[in-house]
Amino acid sequence: MTPDALVPLYGFVEGDTLGLLVLVRTTDTIARLSFVLQEAAQVRVAHDPQFVVRHRDLRLEPTLTVAAAGLTALDRVDLVREASA
Amino acid sequence: MLKRQEWLDLARKLDWTYSYVQERDVFPEAMSGRPWLEHAHWQGWDEPYRTTFAEYVTGQHEKEGAISAVRDAVGKVADFGRHDRAWLSALKLHGATLPLAEFAAVIGNLRAARFGRDSAWRITAAFGALDELRHTQIPLAVLHELVHWDPQFDWTHRFFHTNEWVAVAARHFVDEMLLGSNPIEFAIATNFVFETGFTNLQFVGLSAVAHAVGDRMFEKMVQSIQTDEARHSQIGGPVLRTLVEHDKAYAQYLVDKWFWRAWLFFAVVTGFAMDYLTPLEERKQSFREFVDEWIVEQFERMIHEYGLERPWYWAEFQKSTRYYHHLLYASAYTYRATVWFDLVLPSPEERAWLAEKYPESWPELAPVWERITERCRAAGPGMEWFTHGVTPVGFCSLCQLVLCGGTPGKNSARVVEKDGRRFVFCSEPCAWIFEREPERYTAHRTIVERILAGEAPANLIELVRDYFGLSEATWGKDAHGGRYPFTVDAPGGSAA
């Protein structure tokens, strides 16, 4: 993967009705990914500071980069509220 | 002179024993379907209608006359103009998704009229082909009248010729079921599952709703079509009976596969109409109640009569009758510019009705509508984009519909890697169908894959205009322009 490449991901926000396609960069943080996904879903689900990002049953630290978290094109990521994470 | 019942089989049972060619060459497995059985196994094929050609022509002529009379009386623009805008959207949805699918069914029936394994089957399929041609032409003719009045009705003809996402999904479904299936699979998929199992949703359920809303044209049109469907759907039963006798596992597979695919189709076409696009005061049953009565009970009894089991995903299917069309409708409302019909924001009264009808699922769905309503109220009338998504969405690699499986709390989509390529499935049955016959499906690319390959624009406006073929005049909007009593402080007042 080239540095700072675009990574398309399938994102699912808890409480939402569908899966979204979001584009992030490998250098973006997980916190940025969370924001992008919440923006994409905001018509149906309000932003919530309780949201955390999960990938394959693992909670991803907000400070990690997309690359460091091991996310690759068309992975599934979930935004879930802390209580249900 | 012979009585009807005495001569009928002389005109229907016309097969002879081949001596110059092999039966396998006349009916090759690739065209006739598997398991390949000698004609002796099919020669008992029969169905209850046993229609003669003379009866067919006379009956169809009378039906055409009746439809023409209804059209002359109540099928004009002025008649349609009296209907609720939401109901017109139900007509646009039905009108676009069915007529050209019926035309594909002409071809499926014609293949059976040539390669079906018994002459009575082939004759009934020939009538079926004529039926489906009629079902193509009636809605095209009736709704064409409305194009100059409302350009969204142009999608009655245009829909299947576009790359609009529902059209991509509809083509994926009908191309396989109606154009790409051999007569055995066609008989199980179309005649048995789709026409016997599901079309009551349209022909009984939606017809009753049309009666309630006073749409006599639609009501009479679907009732007329139903009389044909009831006859040619009978092809499926005797084919299934022979199939069960010789390859029960394959029969079960075909029923399981096509039940799921048909369910997803009707959840969109009928689910939207019954639970959202019919005026509240005219709703008699919820979509779920209708599915429970006409699909769950009847289909379950029917497949047991053939010695088959319920599809393995039955629990998932039953749960999806509480969620799936709701998730899809809310998604479609917030991406309404990507479809060719207008959608409505459910009122508090409608949401109370939905809460009563869907006690298991509505508590999870209500917050979504509260959020959308809040944004509609904040934006004020006419501000379509404040309640509209701007990010591309994911599509299932099998059904090609939006990833709306599962529940708001737990979407059931699953990403699968195969031969270095990633596929995403909205549900386990879709993944299972794909994995059973990957050679049928892997070449097809979802809209997301087309975007990533640079064939379709990622920008939503460009995608809608340049790739889906919609324009500002035709793309879906809020049916009432966001002007609802519950989104403004007072009639004519400003947004809260």
Q: pLDDT tens for residues B74-104?
A: 888 999 999 999 999 999 999 999 999 999 9
Q: Is residue A77 part of a domain?
A: yes
Contacts of B327 in chain A (CB under 8 A): 17-18
Position B14 pLDDT exceeds 70: yes
Q: Which two tokens stand for residue B17?
A: 């024993």
Residue A85 lies in a domain: yes
Q: Does the distance separating the beta carbons of A46 and B331 come in below 8 Å?
A: no
Q: How far apart are CA B410 and CA B451, in angstroms?
A: 26
**DSSP three-state, residue B202:** helix
Task: Label the pairing between strands A76-81 and A20-25.
Answer: unpaired
A18 touches chain B (CB under 8 A): yes
State whether residue A59 is helix, strand or coil. strand
Residue among B165, B323, B364, B371 with most chain A CBs within 10 A, to mutate: B371
Domains identified in chain A, total number: 1
Task: Tell me if A75 is assigned to some domain.
Answer: yes
Given A22, A44, A74, which is nearest B371 (Cβ)?
A44
Nearest residue in B to A81, CA atom: B409
> Do B389 and A43 count as a contact with CB atoms less than 8 A apart?
yes
CA distance B433 to B263: 14
Higher-pLDDT residue of B206 and B417 is: B417
pLDDT 10s digits, B265-298: 999 999 999 999 999 999 989 999 999 988 888 8
Query: Å from A45 to nearest chain B CA?
Result: 6
**What is the three-class DSSP state of B360?**
coil
Q: Give the model's pLDDT for residue B62.
A: 96
The answer to whether residue A62 sits within a structural domain is no
Higher pLDDT, B209 or B308: B308
Residue B12's closest CA among B61, B58, B47? Answer: B47
All domains in chain B, ordered by first residue:
59-467 (1.10.620.20)
Please check the confidence at residue B206 and state whether its pLDDT lies above 50.
yes
A40 touching chain B per CB within 8 A: yes
Each residue's pLDDT tens digit, B313-340: 999 999 999 999 999 999 999 999 999 9
- Contact at 8 Å (CB) between B423 and B415? yes
**pLDDT tens figures, B361-402:** 999 999 999 999 999 999 988 889 999 999 999 999 999 999
Residue B324: which of B418, B430, B197, B253 has the closest Cα?
B430
Amino acid, single-letter form, for residue A79: L
In a domain, A46, yes or no: no
Q: pLDDT tens per residue, chain A (85 residues)?
A: 567 899 999 999 999 999 999 999 999 999 999 999 999 999 999 999 999 999 998 999 999 999 999 999 999 999 999 876 5
Instruction: Give the pLDDT of residue A62.
Output: 98
Q: Is A83 among the domain residues?
A: yes
pLDDT at B240: 98
Its ipTM equals 0.96
The pLDDT of residue A1: 59
Please indicate, yes or no, if residue A29 is contained in any of the structural domains. no
Average pLDDT (B183-200) is 93
- Residue B327: the pLDDT is 98
Res. B492 pLDDT band, cuts 50 70 90: very low
Q: Which residues pair with B322 in a beta bridge?
A: none
What pLDDT is stored for residue B489 in this prediction?
Answer: 63
pLDDT score, position B199: 83
Cβ-defined contact of A18 to B409 (cutoff 8 Å)? no
Q: How far apart are the first and last CA of chain A?
A: 29
Tell me which residue range forms the domain holding A74: 7-18+68-85
Contacts of A12 in chain B (CB under 8 A): 403, 411, 413
Distance CA A6, CA A73 (A): 9
Longest dimension (CA), chain B: 84
Gap from A12 CA to chain B (nearest CA, Å): 7
In our burial notation (b when 16+ CB lie closer than 10 A, e otherwise), range B81-109 reads: eebbbbbbbbbbbbbbbbbbbbbbbbebb
The dihedral formed by the CA atoms of A66, A67, A69 and A70, expressed in degrees to the nearest 10? 120
pLDDT per position as a tens digit, B114-135: 999 999 999 999 999 999 999 9
* Predicted pLDDT of residue B493: 42
pLDDT at B442: 96
Strand-pair partners of B422: B417
Query: Which chain A residue is nearest to residue B424, measuring alpha carbons?
Result: A74
Of A8, A10, A45, the CB nearest to B413: A10
CB-based contact (8 Å) between A70 and chain B?
A: no
Nearest to A46 among B364, B371, B458 (CB): B371
Rg (CA), chain B: 23
Q: Average pLDDT, stretch B1-16? A: 90
CB contact under 8 A, A12 and B413: yes
- pLDDT for A82: 81
Once rounded to an integer, what is the mean pLDDT over residues B40-60?
95
The pLDDT confidence band at residue B205, using thresholds 50, 70 and 90, is confident
Residue B207's pLDDT is what? Answer: 87
Cβ distance of B393 and A45 shorter than 8 Å: no
pLDDT at B495: 38
Round the average pLDDT of chain B to a whole number and report it: 94
- The percentage of residues in chain B with a pLDDT greater than 70, rounded to a whole number, is 98
Closest CA to B202 of B101, B55, B308: B101
> A4 by DSSP, 3-state: which?
coil
Name the interface residues of B facing A (CB cutoff 8 Å). Answer: 326-328, 330-331, 334, 364-365, 367-368, 371-372, 375, 386-394, 402-404, 408-409, 411, 413-415, 422, 424, 426, 448, 451-452, 458
pLDDT in tens, B167-184: 999 999 999 999 999 999
Note whether residue A13 is domain-resident: yes
